[in-house]
Chain A
Amino acid sequence: MNFAPPNGTTYTLPATLRRRSDIVQKLTRLYTSWGYQQVDFPVLEHYDSTHPIAEQSFKLTDRDNDLLSLRSDFTTATARMVQVHYADFPHPLRLQYNGKLWQTVNPDIARTREFSQIGVELVGLSNAKADAELVYLAKESLREVGLTPRVEIGNPAFVATLFDLANIPSEDRTELADAIDRKAIQELQERLNRYTLAPDLYQALVQVIDLYGDTSTLEIASQRCPWPETQAIIERLKAIIAEFDDSSELLIDLGMARRQDYYTGFTFRAYTFDFGQPILGGGRYDGILLPEAAGFALGLERIMGAQSQVDDVFQTTIISTDDTKAAYLRRHGYSVERAVETDLGTLLERAKDRGIAFLVSKTGVEALSKVAKESQDLERLEQLLEQDLLEQE
């Protein structure tokens, strides 16, 4: 019997889980303070071939042979919940969620097949103020977990609009958008050379791959792409940025041409220094999953990867042979194990092996390691137990 979990999944041990719970707690608190209400979804979903992640979902069969799939995307799940439960509910809705997702990807250091996300959706609004609220929260999310944020904003509709203006045949657009998204200049030029394009549109399509950088990029874009249709997209992005007093943590990339199919409006990603993968992704999906909605999600495994190697906090682990003292310490918020060993020698040996910090007995508290002896916890525990004695007298 092989007890190792399937490839791309993992057991979560206490030290990792403590860090993950800490992240979830901090972010949940942040979103709650902004009025986002927590919701949860079933892990089992009806299999639906039109689901954006359908191809990469794990499939299961129900007893009646109905095809089910494991949850693979929170945005789609939220949209479906809103349609079922909030159809006649006053909008806007601010919802937050966290939990696990499953996708049949090839696992590597950036991707696992089972992964955790936390995120928010802002439903029933579509304007620059709503967009800016999400960008702001994206930025604050990274800061909340100790990372320096850079949030990159774009809109795949910008490239799509250039395609419209240039009359690019629809069957060529996916590959062309893909070349732009990879900033593959050679491939892009080769493909564009197949068409007869007006020089200004040819230039705009080639140069769009270099339209990235700080927010002044929008001014350059505005000069190079003077068409009313592209101007409208630039203006909306400018309106989002205008909501910020300080836009130094914001970046632009108008060559962001391929995102999740459901995004119809602006999209964004967050990066942090010294980490090669985006930590957060989001955008506006008006008209696809819901009439008006936008949101984002963060990958918890990515956050943990980006946080510089945090040492696990020193744990005040206690084992006790005195039930009264143990009960007293538990009331004061300590986690106290009850000793089940009958002889003290075995008890001490096992406790030290397991890295337990303190032993509490009839005679008081005793530190079991050098770190524990030097920690402030020892003093605090001694004081607490003394106080208990005084109160009893």
Chain B
Amino acid sequence: MKRRYHLHFPGLLYVVLTVVVGFAAINNQNNVLFWILGVMLSALVISGLVSGMMMSSLQIRRLMPAHGLVGEPLIVRYALSNRSRFFPVFNVHIEERAVRNRSGWNTMMDRVGAWVMHVGPRDTVHGEATFWPRRRGKAEFDALRIWTTFPFGIIKKSITITRPQHVLIYPQLYELRRGVLQAVTPQGLLGATVSRHTGAGDDYFGMREFRPGDSMRQIAWKRSAALDQLVSIERTTPAPPKVRIVVNLTRATHELERGANADETARDLEESAISLAASLIQLADLNGYEVGLSLPGTAGPSIQVRRNVWHREKLMAALASIDLDAARKPRTPQSTANAERIGRVVVHPDRVEASLGGPNAWHVTARQLKNLAVRPIGWDAARTGADAPSDDTKVTSKKREAAA
């Protein structure tokens, strides 16, 4: 923890003004000026004492969200606790210190610091800072600084606390066109399949003895009458359609073929491919598909076809964690088991490599994202980038504020 007093510009101006007033008071021997000088000196002392006292009684915790998403604001909360028994704390600013490495949060998002107006004695208040992720990856946070200029704005007192933490920023998601999913999955021709397990489906699976808790509707009455004991009918579980997304990252970035668009870099193509894969996963999950993921060329694991919330998070985390700067691994043979029941979608950054994904696989390239996507979910980080908000943005913001 590092505590510091800063004499910033207004403070410096104030000190100069105090010196001038002191000089005027001495030069004129004017008692009113002597008193004003006294007030100004006291304000200087009180400012330092009060802000120091406030800062020393503060404790802070960073409450990091589970993950962020490119195109959506990442709200990081800070729990500020005032340990003082009597003195409240006012006007506290919280800001994250920049991290000097490639995965530092400052390399992948803009931020607006948090501000807390008041924390009462023995009270805890949550402030929130908004981050605007521009790209996916693992964002590392290290130190954060809390500062205040209360009460007079003369002296700035700050405390820097080291709290290393990280958060995964998921890739940008796009709203895909209707029918994309049906087009890339084999369900349309083969129809829905059932699993070999009992469940709550409609198809007949078998019979068994009645167990307490079975519904009356499950009882096979005729058979029960014949056997003179209650027998229940068991039904099959409907097997949801399955899809495996394969992101082809076998070729290094510099080996990719760039298109005619000069602004489009090879890295952009790879990121678009990852975004398209993430969007497909998201869409499939929403539509009740079981989804699996393969990331040939990377160290990322091949994830089995499943469906639940944690599984989806796992898939997204795997996509978020892809390190495109790492050396690519050679392609390994892909399993074609259940190929007829699991649809395969292979996403290529630049061009299709038909050998990947098996005979029935659908191949899409990152460039097709424009055609497949209706619009990005949230804001388009690729388009807005890291630019500072334009004047139009400000005006819009003001309008929004007025409307609010």
Query: Do A and B actually bind?
Result: no
